[in-house]
A and B are shown apart, each in its own frame.
Chain A
């Protein structure tokens, strides 16, 4: 009898914790909506998303976030181009090629990399990468989208590597052995069996890495230069959605248009991250089936 009550309580507790996380997410979203939506009364949704100027404290304020969206996209795109191929290649190397000792060493490195707080990475980037980029391309400032992409790539790498590696290791051994027994070389096995089998997981890993990059704030704020203009090249300062919220939230007057606009940016970010995670999830579950 007592056991039954105990089980009942435990069950309820677990259920409640599950519900709680859903409720919290919902509450956050509702709060974002409530605070952000009122901006669309003054600035239309379309104008907000496609406005080319972000002058939040001029009079009247111009609240177009296209430069910020472009900034985020550009930095993210750069980071993806760097991190995805590098991350996937590293994962294959670690899982399939490296000797056990090298593998352990590399895995520890990846863990350490993922443990570095983004402020620290941003700081290191600021004192090393930024001057380097400036000197390399002979440009007036090293605070560019390009520098941001490199730094973000470092942040996405651990996610991409470790999840891809799991996916590679999850390819059934029988497939590998089957191919080897038919005279496939190591590379043919890798190419035909393992990449094929691990693909959904690897794509999901990349999506999660991208999600990480889009939401990242500190490091990009420190090294992308924060100029809210529509970028035309990788070698110019940009400002991202996240950096805008972080930099301006402290200075804005609560209840002002600017304040609501920052929340609306939050909604945009939320929607983007949500879509990316759903896509990643689709691939991960495709894997399971």
Chain B
């Protein structure tokens, strides 16, 4: 694929002896939203976490194959993993702000990068909050503890936190699954906005959501990539029977 930001090829992932990703080969385009769907336990989160090596911290886990980001293997020998994670931001299913103020949450990534310049940090925090469509709601509450925000606001705060270090890719693992419809809609609109600047990969359980937000959709099952295509094709005329069964709700 042209303009592929990420090329995954023959990628396998193991937790101990169990192989949860099987020979995944997929190209993910730049500045598009790629949705990942599939039944629970099929390896969606594992796949997502393989792209920024979040799985490294799990003992006994092992990766095989290659994940090329801008043509360089992220599992290569002398990869700076912390640097990789700055380039590939992540938003978790359950929003996880730190027990700190709104401002400090967004500034966190900058501070661990050793940035001290107060004006730079302030400016970047504001911009990230604007980009995450949260600024107007929290601009007077920057000193409040992040836990005082609503669930949807907390999730957007986590998005702002990820944006603050200017990643190129944003991984989102069911970012709206714990939110009500209004908050979900806000996140979905936000994703449309963000894809202009970022390459987004989003895991979702919600078929309508995948259809609404993603340009391409990958269907996983039992650790295998069953089908990957333009979203409209996946949802209207999938080439695999398995995909059709899944999207029409016959199982899963």
Residue pair B59, A177 in contact (C-beta under 8 Å): no
Cβ contacts under 8 Å, A100 to chain B: 59
Residue pair A183, B85 in contact (C-beta under 8 Å): yes
Contact digits for B42-83, partner A, Cβ 8 Å, 1 yes 0 no = 000000000010100101000000000000000000000011
Cβ contacts under 8 Å, A185 to chain B: 82
If A180-B85, A181-B162 touch, does A174 touch B96 (CB 8 Å cutoff)? yes
A188 to B83, CA, bound (A): 13
Residue pair A178, B113 in contact (C-beta under 8 Å): no
Tell me which residues from 158 to 182 in chain A have a Cβ below 8 Å from any Cβ of chain B.
172, 174-175, 177-182
If A182-B161, A182-B165, A183-B83 touch, does A188 touch B112 (CB 8 Å cutoff)? yes
Cβ contacts under 8 Å, B83 to chain A: 183
A12 within 8 A of B: no
A106 within 8 A of B: no
If A177-B54, A178-B98 touch, does A183 touch B112 (CB 8 Å cutoff)? yes
Residue pair A183, B165 in contact (C-beta under 8 Å): yes
Cβ contacts under 8 Å, B59 to chain A: 100
Contact digits for B93-109, partner A, Cβ 8 Å, 1 yes 0 no = 01011110000000011
Minimal beta-carbon separation of A287 from chain B (angstroms): 12
Residue pair A182, B54 in contact (C-beta under 8 Å): no
| Smallest CB gap from B56: residue in A | A180
A113 within 8 A of B: no
Residue pair B92, A177 in contact (C-beta under 8 Å): yes
CB-contact partner of A181 in B54, B94, B97, under 8 A: B54
Q: Could you say which of B97, B98, B99, B165 has the most chain A C-beta atoms within 10 Å of its C-beta?
A: B98
Cβ contacts under 8 Å, A222 to chain B: none
A188 to B54, CA, bound (A): 16
| Smallest CB gap from A173: residue in B | B96
If A100-B59, A177-B92, A192-B112 touch, does A183 touch B98 (CB 8 Å cutoff)? no
A182 to B82, CA, bound (A): 8
Cβ contacts under 8 Å, A175 to chain B: 96, 98-99
A185 to B84, CA, bound (A): 11
B124 within 8 A of A: no
A153 to B113, CA, bound (A): 38
CB-contact partner of B109 in A177, A182, A197, under 8 A: A182
Cβ contacts under 8 Å, A197 to chain B: 99
| Smallest CB gap from B84: residue in A | A183
| Smallest CB gap from A181: residue in B | B90
Q: Could you say which of B57, B59, B92, B96 has the most chain A C-beta atoms within 10 Å of its C-beta?
A: B96
B86 within 8 A of A: yes
A229 within 8 A of B: no
Tell me which residues from 136 to 172 in chain A have a Cβ below 8 Å from any Cβ of chain B.
172
Q: Could you say which of A100, A172, A178, A184 has the most chain B C-beta atoms within 10 Å of its C-beta?
A: A178
A79 within 8 A of B: no
A139 to B96, CA, bound (A): 58
A43 to B252, CA, bound (A): 83
A208 within 8 A of B: no
A126 within 8 A of B: no
Minimal beta-carbon separation of B18 from chain A (angstroms): 18
If A100-B59, A175-B98 touch, does A184 touch B92 (CB 8 Å cutoff)? no
A185 to B85, CA, bound (A): 10
B89 within 8 A of A: yes
Residue pair A178, B92 in contact (C-beta under 8 Å): yes
Minimal beta-carbon separation of A199 from chain B (angstroms): 12
A83 within 8 A of B: no
Residue pair B94, A174 in contact (C-beta under 8 Å): yes
A75 within 8 A of B: no
| Smallest CB gap from A197: residue in B | B99
Q: Could you say which of B83, B85, B92, B162 has the most chain A C-beta atoms within 10 Å of its C-beta?
A: B85
Cβ contacts under 8 Å, A180 to chain B: 54, 57, 85
Residue pair B108, A183 in contact (C-beta under 8 Å): no
Minimal beta-carbon separation of B246 from chain A (angstroms): 29
Cβ contacts under 8 Å, B162 to chain A: 181-182
A-B pairs with beta carbons under 8 Å apart, 29 shown: A174-B96, A175-B98, A175-B99, A177-B57, A177-B92, A177-B96, A178-B97, A178-B98, A178-B158, A178-B161, A179-B98, A179-B108, A179-B112, A180-B54, A180-B85, A181-B89, A181-B90, A181-B162, A182-B85, A182-B89, A182-B109, A183-B85, A183-B86, A183-B112, A183-B165, A188-B112, A192-B112, A193-B98, A197-B99
> Which of B's residues lie within 8 Å of A, judged by CB?
52, 54, 57, 59, 82-83, 85-86, 89-90, 92, 94, 96-99, 108-109, 112-113, 158, 161-162, 165
Q: Which 6 A-B pairs have the closest CB atoms?
A: A174-B96, A183-B86, A182-B109, A181-B90, A183-B85, A183-B82
Extra contacts, 12 of them, besides A100-B59, A181-B90 (Cβ < 8 A), are A174-B94, A174-B96, A177-B57, A178-B92, A182-B161, A183-B85, A183-B113, A184-B82, A185-B82, A192-B112, A193-B98, A197-B99
